[in-house]
Structure 1
Amino acid sequence: MQKLLTAINQGVYEKDTELGLSLLAALAGESVLLLGPPGVAKSMVARRLKAAFKEAKAFEYLMSRFSTPDEIFGPISINRLKEFDKYERAVEGYLPTASVVFLDEIWKAGPAIQNSLLTAINEKIYRNGDSEIKLPLKLLIAASNELPAHGEGLEALWDRFLLRIICTCVQDEDTFHSMLLDDNDKEIIVPAELQISEEEYVEWRKQIGQIAVPTDILQYITNVRRQLKRLPLDDEDTARSIYVSDRRWKNIVQLLKASAFINGRTEVNSADLLPLYHCLWNEADECAPIHQLVLRELFTSCLEEMEEITESIKADIRISRVRQALEDFKNNTSPKNDLEITDYFYYHIEEHGTGHTYIFAVDYLALKEQKRENSPRQALIYPDPLNPGRSIIRCYPGTGPSSVPQQRVNLYREGTEFLLIDGVRYPMTQKKKGAKSVSAANKEPQIFDNTPRITTRDYRNELNQLSQRLLSLTNTLCTDNIFVPQADKELVSRFSDEVRKKLRNVEIEEEKLQFNLQQYGGTDQKEV
Structure 2
Amino acid sequence: NGRSEINLSDYLLLIHSFWNDVECIPNVLNAFTSSISDSVMKGLAKIDKSIRQLMVPEQQPMQQPVLSRLDTDCNDFAEYDYFYYLVENYPAGDTYFSKWDYAALTNQIRDGVRYYDSKRKKIIIHSLVPGRPFDAKSQNATNLTKVKIQRCQNGAIIDGTPYAFRRKAAHPATNSEPLQTLPVYQRVSLIQDIFKTCVEEWEKSVSANWTDCDNIFLSRNDLALVNKMLKDVNEQIKTIEVKLNNVVMMIK
TM-score, shorter chain, exceeding 0.5: no
Structure with higher Rg: it is: 1
**More relative contact order, 1 or 2 (CA 8 Å, 6+ apart):** 2
Q: TM-score if structure 2 supplies the norm length?
A: 0.38
Q: TM-score if structure 1 supplies the norm length?
A: 0.20
